[in-house]
Structure 1
């Protein structure tokens, strides 16, 4: 029994992977040390849960690109820009509460889809050089949008510079619009320091379920086939280029949702 248990334990460790175990032990060590350096454990756990809900969707954005064999995060830069456009337009129109948040989602989706299509088409033209092109596009789009944020005709006084009345501020507050709307939805508070952001976790769970449905759909299966064996997928009548574009579009959409 002991030998069998040892074998199962070794297999479990091998399957889980030492990198994950080391990360888990490091995080556990941080929580153990926290009280000795004046950091409250309940506050730290609450912050971790909030960050998990906020960043989880961004992590999901990596899945389609990896499954299609197109890379890790090529869809994220354009998706983030699309999300920021949707958010700023929602504030510009004065939308508040759930209307403001859902309005930001509705406004960012067309941008994310169009940007994803164009970016996917570009990546198909430079196969084998995706990493280089992605780096240039990432830097270029940030620079381009830094200029565009100045010249776009935003007029909401909470966003534009007060002196000139044009150009977006470097920091825009969502107070009075839809700040922390997911974190505060069905929130569970225990004491004065622990907060369970139920809404953000539910939003992540919904996004994860939608991703699971997509990856198990006909398109998702074809996308995975392209990433696993492009030649076999092509022989089966699957267009590798279309699947790569689809992966970039989905990644861009999730990137846009995640930044909100």
Structure 2
């Protein structure tokens, strides 16, 4: 009798654990683990793939983190993330234009990007306050239109740095700008753990991970402050929050500005790891992987946590990294880009169709 009771209790506990994690997310996790198992079988270097997954996590995690404040305030998923990315790109290009080099160019890029993020995020937040209930639809339009507008501005703004402008015309920015000599790998190489000397192709970008950990911790602390609690209250029940004396519009505005600033910092971290600044149409679809990642991580349109950010980014970037490489090695055909597009877009579609379900 006791054994039966214990068995039933364990099954119930396991069932609750599975339900809390989510069956679909469990399947995605299982598929990712399968890719890791198949990697050495297919002749793919396991350590190299671990390095690639960690790198992609460190590049993208802050842009996923940028989703958290807007979700908490009830503004929904930040499809207007390109506004933050544009702020970061302006910070990066102006930092180079002003002649900053090395690590200082990264720090100055953040400093310069901040006022742009405050202004663009403030206008974006004001707009979202005017159309409560339709935030995500308008945010998508804002994100797309801002990228299109900046395609003209990158050609018209009076940049002069020979590192960035088109050589034959002397004006207008190049599509891709190298960060060599500026902040290429600035954080990635800080306290970097390189095991190549021991014959293992594993490199851990410690600085990038620590930078994300710092921002994630600060976000967690903020959400537990009086302002952060008010932000959560506004997202959960704006009527109750207003009755409690909380300014709903100001709180929502703050969340949008914070999300925009995190997007700006996120793209700068992405660039230092990638080694290039990419402008014009590059930011157009960058919001979708971030949205998909946090939803796959277990968030919903009105609830998100740091844990959702970490789990979602690992699952999304892990699959995007591992699946094309492993499948390519198995079938011996160069179809990695096709598989990457199918996997990434498939996860985006899956995540968006489950946007109201959270971790269920």
TM-score normalised by L of structure 2: 0.70
* Contact 2:69 2:258 (8 Å CA) reproduced: yes
CA distance in 2, matches of 1:208, 1:77: 20
Name the residue aligned to 1:246. Answer: 254
Residues 1:230 and 2:242 are matched in the alignment? no
4+ residue runs over 3 A deviation: none
Aligned mates of 1:158, 1:179 — CA distance in 2 = 14
CA contact (8 A) 2:77 2:136 kept: no
Partner of 2:221 in structure 1? 213
Q: Does 1:24 align with 2:32?
A: no
Task: Tell me if structure 1 keeps the 8 A contact 2:195–2:201.
Answer: yes
Corresponding residue of 1:33: 38
Shift of 1:233: 0.3
- What stretches of structure 1 of length at least 5 have no aligned partner? none
Q: Deviations over 1:69-112 (max 9, x none)?
A: 11111451211110000011111112112211111111101110
RMSD: 1.2
Deviations 1:114-173 (A, max 9, x none): 111111001111222223322221121011000000011111111110000100000111
Structure 1 match to 2:60: 55
Is 2:155 aligned against 1:150? yes
Q: Secondary structure at the match of 1:2?
A: helix
**Which residue is 1:127 aligned to?**
132
5+ unaligned residues in a row in structure 2: which ranges? 1-5, 269-360
Structure 1 residue 35: deviation in Å? 2.2
1:96 pairs with 2:101: yes
* TM-score, normalised via structure 1 length: 0.97
> Does the aligned pair in 2 maintain the 1:74–1:248 contact within 8 Å?
no
* Alpha-carbon separation, structure 2, partners of 1:203 and 1:136: 31
Partner SS, residue 70 of structure 1:
coil
Number of residue pairs the alignment of both structures matches = 260
1:201 to 184, 196, 209: 209
Q: Distance in 2 between matches of 1:11 and 1:137?
A: 40
Q: Distance in 2 between matches of 1:54 and 1:227?
A: 28
Matched residue, 2:188: 183
1:167 aligns with 2:175: no
SS of 2:171's equivalent in the other structure is: coil
Q: Secondary structure at the match of 2:203?
A: strand
